[in-house]
Structure 1
Amino acid sequence: MIDTLNTTLRRIPAWTIYIVGAAWAAWLFYLGLTGGLGPEPINALEREYGEVGLKLLIAGLAVTPLRKFAGLNLLKFRRALGVTTFFYIVAHFSVWAFLDVQSFARVWEEIVKRPYVTVGMLSFVMMIPLAVTSNNMSLRKMGGAAWRKLHKLTYPIAVLGAVHYLWLVKGFQIEPIIYLMVILGLLATRIQWAKRTVPA
């Protein structure tokens, strides 16, 4: 079953993720323009982009555990998932900054004043070097070891993103808690795998 699925996945080009990601972002924007996201379209669009970005981040984190523990090989899609994640987080930030806050001074004020915005911005800023180096040229120039070390920033980025979402929502909501637990669980699998591979 897994072999058949891996064979099918090998036939799907990685750029498919870019096309689907861009199309979905455009569809959400269209819904926001036409009233399909409810009475507060800016807030809804901002949240939709952020949630998709967090889901894609989780999908990227799941690639290695799925390969190691289930034999499902999604490695060819990991870079596309990462770049598309960054695209959605940029969209999330842009809607917040340009359509919601609408003032650079207020944007900075919100970052300094509100902890959940501070955490979200920190996660966003940490994503920038990963997006910039998500190409073969950067990998060759940096070398594999340095490149992999830099891209381990994905781990704190994911945790901070989940904490940002958890602090953002009003009242007790189970969804952001689930996201945080899933992220911590995926990171825990890496710790367990590292322990297993350490020579006695």
Structure 2
Amino acid sequence: MAPWYDRSGRFSVLKAAALACALLPALWLALRWQQGWLGARPLNEAIHQAGLWSIRFLLATLAVTPLRHIGGWTKLISIRRILGVTALAYGLLHLVLYAGDQAFDLAKIASEIVLRTYLTIGFLALCAMAAMGATSTDAAIRRLGAARWRRLHALIHPVAVLAVLHFFMQSKIDASEAALMLGFLVLLELYRVLIRRRIALTFVPLAATAAVAGLATALLEAGWYAAATKVPPDAVLEANLYLDLAVRPAWWVLGVGLSAALLGRATPRAEADARRPARAAV
């Protein structure tokens, strides 16, 4: 069955939209490459963009469960597989482009992966994503059994951590984008804790979660700069106070979290979900 059909065989607007969103970054990247819009080092920029979109779709996959609970959007579960496979596809593109940058010298690529810690971390994350992608079909679920399949696909959480760490380690001086991805990951994992503990996803707990995630983002970003570049952490924290220069990652995380809190306030379903027996939040 084509991926834009639902299980009943009918055309799904939601799945078709998800597929379009999956393809658009690749098409835009190809256009930028063809038009020479990727800067002085086009291949290097393409490698970066493919990896970034892999992390974005990985986080979007993790966001499906919280959005189902907060907004009552149960149909989102139908696109989680599309989002996860898309994250894998961009991760593989990231690796293939890197191999192209190394002239497809497999011996050199293997030695670089073994000797460079950030490449080792990224490769391990991609291998785990490949295992999840290979078992994302209904047939694989039946073959593995629901319990084993859930345990395997729970790897998405450590994989996301490894992917963000890989992003940080290769970002060098400017790690703002990596800090943003880390902040969203913190926010999503905090939502997972709320769901597992059956805490009502209403305005107050969601707003508190947004504040904690925003603060954690600022502290983790400052800690990374202090460890990796020796920039004083107080200088990085102070930069969050000057919005005229740029909106720092912590504020974006706080803004997204508060938007989710407003959604929870408008959704009575959150109270009902909290009273149901806890289920594994994969």
Q: Which category of TM-score, normalised to the shorter sequence, fits these structures?
A: 0.7 to 0.9
- What residue number does 2:114 align with? 112
- Cα root mean square deviation, aligned: 1.8
Q: Which of 175, 184, 188 matches 1:186?
A: 188
- What residue number does 1:78 align with? 80
Contact kept, 8 Å, 1:33 with 1:41, in 2: the verdict is no
User: How far apart in 2 are the matches of 1:23 and 1:64?
Assistant: 24
Pair member with larger Rg: 2
**How far has the Cα of 1:15 moved from its partner?**
4.4
1:46-195 aligned within 5 A: 46-73=47-74, 74-97=76-99, 99-102=100-103, 103-195=105-197
**How far has the Cα of 1:110 moved from its partner?**
1.2
Structure 1 unaligned segments of length 5 or more: list them. 1-9
User: How far apart in 2 are the matches of 1:183 and 1:160?
Assistant: 11
- What residue number does 1:17 align with? 18
**How far has the Cα of 1:72 moved from its partner?**
2.8
User: How far apart in 2 are the matches of 1:185 and 1:13?
Assistant: 25
**How far has the Cα of 1:85 moved from its partner?**
0.9
Contact kept, 8 Å, 2:122 with 2:166, in 1: the verdict is yes
TM-score (norm 2): 0.63
User: How far apart in 2 are the matches of 1:28 and 1:134?
Assistant: 27
Contact kept, 8 Å, 2:55 with 2:163, in 1: the verdict is yes
**How far has the Cα of 1:96 moved from its partner?**
0.4
Structure 2 unaligned segments of length 5 or more: list them. 1-10, 199-276
Structure 1: which 4+ aligned runs deviate by more than 6 Å? none
Q: Which residue type is aligned with residue 37 of structure 1?
A: L
User: How far apart in 2 are the matches of 1:174 and 1:91?
Assistant: 23
**How far has the Cα of 1:11 moved from its partner?**
4.7
Contact kept, 8 Å, 2:25 with 2:53, in 1: the verdict is no
Report the 3-state secondary structure (helix = DSSP H, G, I; strand = E; otherwise coil) of the residue aligned with 2:122.
helix
Matched residues, number: 188
Between the two proteins, what is the percent identity of the paired residues?
32
TM-score (norm 1): 0.87
Contact kept, 8 Å, 2:132 with 2:153, in 1: the verdict is yes
**Residues 1:69 and 1:23: Cα distance change in structure 2 (over 3 Å):** closer
Structure with the bigger percentage of helix: 1
**Residues 1:21 and 1:11: Cα distance change in structure 2 (over 3 Å):** closer
